[in-house]
Structures are given as C-alpha cells and as structure tokens.
Amino acid sequence: MDVFNELSIEKLASELEKGRIHPREILRECSKRVSKVEPKLHALNRETLDRAQHAIENWTYDSARPFAGIPYIQKDNICTLGVATDCSSRILQGFVPPYAATVDARVVEQGFALIGKSNMDEFGMGSSTEYSAWGASLNPFDLSRVPGGSSGGSAAGVAAGYAPIAFGTDTGGSVRQPASFCGLVGLRPTYGRVSRWGLIAFASSLDTIGPITTTVRDAAHALSFVEGQDGRDSTVVNLPREDYFASIEKGIGDLRVGVLDVGMADWVDKRVRTVFNANVEWFKGHAKSVREVRIGCFDLLLAAYYTLAPSEASSNLARYDGLRYGPSVNIAEKGKSVDEATAGGLLDYYRKNRGQGFGPEVTRRILIGTFALSSGYYDAYYLRAQKVRTKLRAELDELWKNVDVIISPTAPAPPFKLGSALDDPMDMYRADLFVLMQPMSGCPAISVNGGWTDLDDDGFSKLAACREKSCFGKIVSRLPIGLQITAPPFREADLLRAARAFEREHV
C-alpha cells in the first residue's frame, strides 16, 4: 500500500509510529504535488512550506501527539498567528493576525504542520470559489469545473493530495458542498460545539468550522481535538467530552433513517438522483428502518437563509473601513501618497475602500443585509427569516422523534462548469438547497462520497490526472456525487457512525 496514495491522518500516524516514514518524507511528497499541480489548480492563497519544514525539524514520535508532523491546510478565513489571512478579499490583503484562532491553535498543538492557506469564495460567500478576489480554484477531477465553495481551495488541496486534511468553514454548506464536489468527507459540527474565536465572521449564528478529510475516521479525530470550550466564544456550549471512536464502527442496525423528500423530480440532476436512490437502497438493507420525511417549510429556507446570512454579514463586514487593517489607500490608486489618497476625506475613503475592496457577491450580500436590517424592512425580512428558523426547528424536533438521521444528496447537481452560475445570483443560491437546513436549525451534518457520474454520460473535456497514480487507487474520470447525513444537534456520534458504516462498504 502506498500511503501517499491514500493520504489519511490515521494511516500516516500509524506509519509514523512504526517508524516506517518520517514527516520529512511526507512533507517532501506533498510539496512535490503542490509544485506540480498548484499552478493549474490554484487551491492555495499562500504556501507555507518553509514554515512546515521548520515545524517538523525536531520531530520524534510521541503517543500523546500521534499526528505530529502531518501536513494540513487552513482555510484563509481562519486566523493563523503570524501568517497572512485575507479571506480571499482585497479589503483584507496583507492582514497578518497577531493572534491564533482557537481551532488553529489546537491543530498546531497536536503538531500538525501548516503547508498553506487555502483559497475561498470571498468572506465565505459563494458556492464555487469563483468569487475569490485572487481567481477561482479548480476541481482536481475536471479542471473546467468548480471545486465547490466557499471552502473550494481546502477541498481541492486535499483531493489533489497536498495534505490529508484541511479545515473549512460551513455557514450555508461551505464545507459539505466542496467536499462533495471533490469526493471527500466534509463535516459540519453542531453550532456551538467548536469555538469561532479567530474565525473571520461571515454570519455569526450560522458559521461553523469543520474538517475536510479523506476518511470518516479522520473527521472524527479532527472534531475531537478542535471541539470544546475555550473561554472566548460565548456561544460554545459546555458538553461532556465524548469518545466518537467508542461507537464509530458499531454499524447502523439500530438506526432509524429518514429520507428527505423534497419532490426531487424537477430541480435535482438525474445523475444525482440515480446515485442517491442507490444510496437509499443501501440504507434500506442495513438500517433498522427507512422512511420518507418531509420538511414543511423547506421552500422557505432559501429566502430565509439568504436574508439572514447577508444580514449578519452586512454587520460583521462593517468593520472593514481601512483604518485598522487592510490596504488603506485607494487600491486602484497605487503610487499615491497617503495624504493624496486620503485627500477626499473620510466619507470618500470609506466608499473607495469598501467599494473597491469588496467583490460583487460580497457587495450584493452587504446590500441585501443592510436592507433587511433597516427599520421598515426589519420585520418583513430579518424577523420573519428568524421565525422560519423557529418553525424549522419545531418541525425537525417532531421528525427526530421517529428518525435518528436524515439523508439527502449534498448538492442538486454534480460539480458545474466554471462560469455557468455567475449570471443570475439566484442560480448560485439554488445550489445550496440541501445544505441550508442544518445551519438554519443548528444541526450537524456530514457529506461523504455517495457515488460517481458515468463516464460516457458526462462528456468530459479531458481527464484531469492530478497525481501520477490514480485517486484512491481507482481509475477516476468521473465526477463525485455526495451523500449528506444530518443528525439532531450534538449527535455527531450517530452521524459519524452512519457515515462510517456507509463508507466501509463504498470506498
């Protein structure tokens, strides 16, 4: 078995423990892949290979830190101490955080070595990574398609073998959907499980941080060492420590499964439907029970989410005024002195910085949000959207009486072509239809690879062999389709168990 072909933190840790490899070799292999593929893939905003080199310098195996020496990718909206963090936005260009996000500090404490900050949709707003100020990342399976978003760079990087693990952020599906588009595992934890300290805020009541990995067990490991109280995030819930590995291999013989019925005929791609139907059949053969479940307010979720998230975003992005961080002279007017560039006064300064610093999607959402929070519209938009959440929560509480998990496709279509969803913003928003239910209710969810499109059916432009060997030991010239499993709040143990059972028989 070539461990570099199936990068997984658990497997690498085992090899490191046995002394069969050294972190230096891992890093060398990953660096090779980065140099070969990154010029095309553009998954990273910046590489930190030197830093990683330094981090593994004095490595010796320590059973208390079994993952030490393993590379990881951090999404560029998570503050890394001393490493530039710009959320793929012009307005934060050059910002170097003087502090570390809790999640990053805990990852570093485990001994992981940062190899780069990943590209993303600006401030997390987007579902394709095309809204990055630094240009889109591409899907390693087909370079003419998107890797998903907003954590597209993280997913692309892991799928291309840069590192066995990356972290992303999931506000409206941004960990799960790119994981799905890149054939990986993406976990969105329950809101309140993982601290948001150091996560550059998009929508405060919807943002979560989650791992993007190649295996379910790796995701369980990652959750275990980043979750929990840190004394800084007031929304983190105090919970007793859970051992996910006590139950993760248990199987799903006792699990009651709900299949999300949303009248999928029209708007779900038939290839996705084919794969999903096969997935449902599998669950029927293994779970305790399978039944269809309906969410009454499903049709409201898009409007409610896209009112709420932009509202909170418009608030969280009000701090970007160019006075404390970010490029503060008019970006297009390089070469002007500070005095010249600020000669227009404060109002002009705000307008130029924010006008030029934010991309079109971010601008759009700031406008939506500012509107929805203004008096006169607050009741009809923001308040109503918050009420939809309550309604959804109530409906789900009813459902959870009869099912332990709910399954659905992660995305309504396989990874789409670059540029195909940019004309009408609503097209991009509709890509999120399956992944909004969880942020709006606080529930955790995981995306695992559910299957693939067929080669002939798809009309590939070219094979995208990003590695010398094939992906996961199989010939791949198809597009990945994700299966999403949702569980009640704080029931990640069941989530991981179900995902693991499925993965065991499908990879």
> How many residues in the shown chain lie near other proteins by CB under 8 A?
101
**Set 89, 132, 174, 408: catalytic member:** 174
Find the binding residues for other proteins in span 394-413 (CB under 8 A).
Answer: none
**Set 8, 75, 137, 447: catalytic member:** 75
Q: What are phi and psi of 19, to 5 degrees?
A: 75, 15
If one asks whether residue 171 binds other proteins (CB under 8 A), the answer comes out as no
From the CB of 345, what's the least distance to other proteins, in Å?
Answer: 4
From the CB of 391, what's the least distance to other proteins, in Å?
Answer: 6
Instruction: CB nearer to other proteins: give 191 or 283.
Output: 191
Cα 268 from Cα 291, distance rounded (Å): 20
List the structure tokens of 494. 């069941």
C-alpha distance from residue 264 to each of 336, 386, 493 (Å): 56, 26, 29
Give the strand order in the sheet containing 185-188.
44-47, 113-118, 71-75, 165-170, 208-213, 185-188, 445-452, 480-486, 405-409, 256-260, 289-293
Instruction: CB nearer to other proteins: give 152 or 310.
Output: 310
From the CB of 491, what's the least distance to other proteins, in Å?
Answer: 13
Is 154 a catalytic site residue?
A: no
If one asks whether residue 419 binds other proteins (CB under 8 A), the answer comes out as no
From the CB of 104, what's the least distance to other proteins, in Å?
Answer: 10
Q: Which of 23-31, 262-270, 367-375, 395-403 is the region at the interface with other proteins (rule: CB under 8 A)?
A: 367-375
If one asks whether residue 60 binds other proteins (CB under 8 A), the answer comes out as no
Of residues 476, 471, 454, 463, the one with CA closest to residue 145: 463
If one asks whether residue 307 binds other proteins (CB under 8 A), the answer comes out as yes
Q: Which of 59-67, 234-242, 246-254, 473-481 is the region at the interface with other proteins (rule: CB under 8 A)?
A: 234-242
Among 367, 419, 469, 475, indicate the residue that binds other proteins (CB under 8 A).
Answer: 367
**Set 128, 137, 150, 154: catalytic member:** 150
| Cβ proximity of 81 and 103 under 8 Å | no
If one asks whether residue 151 binds other proteins (CB under 8 A), the answer comes out as no
List the structure tokens of 408. 């659905």
Q: Which of 129-137, 173-181, 189-197, 412-420 is the region at the interface with other proteins (rule: CB under 8 A)?
A: 189-197
Q: Which of 53-61, 133-141, 358-366, 407-415 is the region at the interface with other proteins (rule: CB under 8 A)?
A: 358-366
Q: Which of 10-18, 151-159, 215-223, 378-386 is the region at the interface with other proteins (rule: CB under 8 A)?
A: 378-386
Cα 31 from Cα 488, distance rounded (Å): 40
Cα 204 from Cα 192, distance rounded (Å): 11
Among 4, 131, 306, 400, indicate the residue that binds other proteins (CB under 8 A).
Answer: 306
Among 10, 25, 233, 503, indicate the residue that binds other proteins (CB under 8 A).
Answer: 233
If one asks whether residue 93 binds other proteins (CB under 8 A), the answer comes out as no
**CB count in 10 Å sphere of residue 111:** 18
Cα 188 from Cα 490, distance rounded (Å): 11
Among 131, 298, 382, 434, indicate the residue that binds other proteins (CB under 8 A).
Answer: 382
Cα 137 from Cα 149, distance rounded (Å): 9
73 φψ region: left (φ > 0), alpha (ψ -120 to 50), beta (else): beta
Q: Which of 129-137, 283-291, 297-305, 472-480 is the region at the interface with other proteins (rule: CB under 8 A)?
A: 297-305
Find the binding residues for other proteins in span 483-502 (CB under 8 A).
Answer: 489
If one asks whether residue 503 binds other proteins (CB under 8 A), the answer comes out as no
If one asks whether residue 228 binds other proteins (CB under 8 A), the answer comes out as no
CA angle 416, 420, 426 (to 5 degrees): 100
Cα 380 from Cα 382, distance rounded (Å): 7
| Cβ proximity of 57 and 24 under 8 Å | no
Per-residue mark of binding to other proteins, 314-353 (x: CB under 8 A): xx-xxxxxxxxxxxxx--------xx--xxxxxxxxxxx-
**CB count in 10 Å sphere of residue 467:** 16
**CB count in 10 Å sphere of residue 253:** 9
Cα 120 from Cα 115, distance rounded (Å): 16
Is 150 a catalytic site residue?
A: yes
If one asks whether residue 363 binds other proteins (CB under 8 A), the answer comes out as yes
| Catalytic residue numbers, as ranges | 75, 150, 174
